[in-house]
Structure 1
Amino acid sequence: MWFGREDRILVGRIIKSVLVSVMLIASVWSLVACSASSIEQERKVYTREATDEGNMRAQSQGHGLNGELVSEISKSFEAKGIKLMNNMSADDDHGGISYMYLLNGSGRHIVKVHIFGSKAARVAGMKQMYSENGDEAVLEKVLGRTTIRSKGYVSLVYTASGGEKDEYEPDVLQVFQHVLEQLR
């Protein structure tokens, strides 16, 4: 035998000591990491950053304050037998968000929902994007027609191009009117 009983007891104690030390170091490290994470989360709460992040996530997923509006648009088009497809969304730098849909998957029929932070932001944003700042407009171009309906902080835009300009327009305008009437 190379080691006696006392040597084995000593080696066992050393191994236990090392394991306890490693566990202690790991515990302290995780405590420090959790503490830093908690401090960062608390900072976000006090600076409203956490609220802003949550609102942006909710808006981009169609939940939160804009969720009812987006849901109403979807239900209204569905009632007309029109599918809103290829849903895309984009945030602006001023707390607004825009959604874009293809009607029944056609790239010739596009509905955009622009939700701004305020009516003033809507007026300025629509003037910048479409050179129109009124509540209603029709922009007739060689390649297509764009119809705009707005109320308060929301603008609904329908663009149809090609020889199918009139295919969905009556239904789209009825949906726009219905949705905008729901706004306070």
Structure 2
Amino acid sequence: MTQIPPALSDLDTPALVLALADLLQRKRWMMATAESCTGGLIAGACTDLSGSSNWFERGFVSYSNEAKTELLGVDAALIQAHGAVSEEVARAMAEGAVTHSNAQTAVAVTGVAGPTGGSPEKPVGTVWFGWSVDGKVRTERRRFDGDRAAVRAATVHHALQTLAEMIPQP
């Protein structure tokens, strides 16, 4: 009897990283991360797996607006016009991570992890995601409940799950 693999949404983060690693290695692709609100947790989840240098190229922790501009090439005027937590900045971060690396795919996150920093327009738990997969960029806004740790953990999981779903099967 053939065992059906679980849906990516059913996997915990370490199992999700394993699935993503397998997929990237079969495609011979590298990935990069551009992180603000997670402060490197996505890269950390990836590099917790032994052998991750075979598929994880680099991570950018661009917590400040200046770092987004200096490391990823995000236009400061874009941040000024839309704010760091915006679709436009998430898109530019994902594109910048690919441009400034040797990766074929990247995930970017920028958000308000809390407990401070929220506003009526961007409440605590608001996260913008950007994914660049083989030259195509997708963005998404999500809002996660819970404390800072819960928002960040949910962000890591969603970022990796969606990236794995977007990469075409080899």
Does the pair score TM above 0.5? Answer: no
Give the number of the structure whose alpha-carbon radius of gyration is greater.
1
Q: Which has the higher contact order (CA 8 A, sep 6+)?
A: 2
Q: Which has the higher helix share?
A: 1
